[in-house]
């Protein structure tokens, strides 16, 4: 959702520099989140009884989610 907002805001006329940077960061954080999710799915497919996610992946997912929320807040403020 935030990435869609970022792309919409980036296409608007008169976008401030903070908005462009926030848009780029949103896209980067979203790709990071997708990478973490992909790793988790591959890990779940490799075992018969899934366990808890590894701590680095859980922390990474939380960081990406919070960062996307912050970028979205910047975009709403800039747009």
In a 13 Å sphere around the CA of 45, the CA atoms on its Cβ side amount to 6
Q: In total, how many domains does the chain have?
A: 1
pLDDT in tens, the chain (79 residues): 666 766 676 666 666 776 677 777 888 888 998 999 998 889 888 888 878 888 988 898 899 889 888 877 877 776 5
Range of the domain at 26: 2-11+18-78
Are the CB atoms for 2 and 22 separated by under 8 Å? no
> From CA 77, how far away is CA 5, in angstroms rounded?
12
Are the CB atoms for 18 and 79 separated by under 8 Å? no
């Amino acid at each position: 959702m935030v990435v869609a907002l970022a792309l919409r805001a980036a296409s608007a006329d008169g976008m401030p520099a903070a908005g462009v940077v926030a848009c780029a960061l949103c896209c980067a954080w979203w790709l990071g989140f997708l990478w973490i999710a992909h790793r988790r799915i591959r890990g779940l497919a490799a075992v018969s009884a899934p366990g808890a996610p590894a701590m680095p992946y859980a922390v990474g997912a939380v960081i990406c989610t919070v960062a996307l929320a912050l970028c979205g807040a910047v975009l709403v403020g800039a747009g």
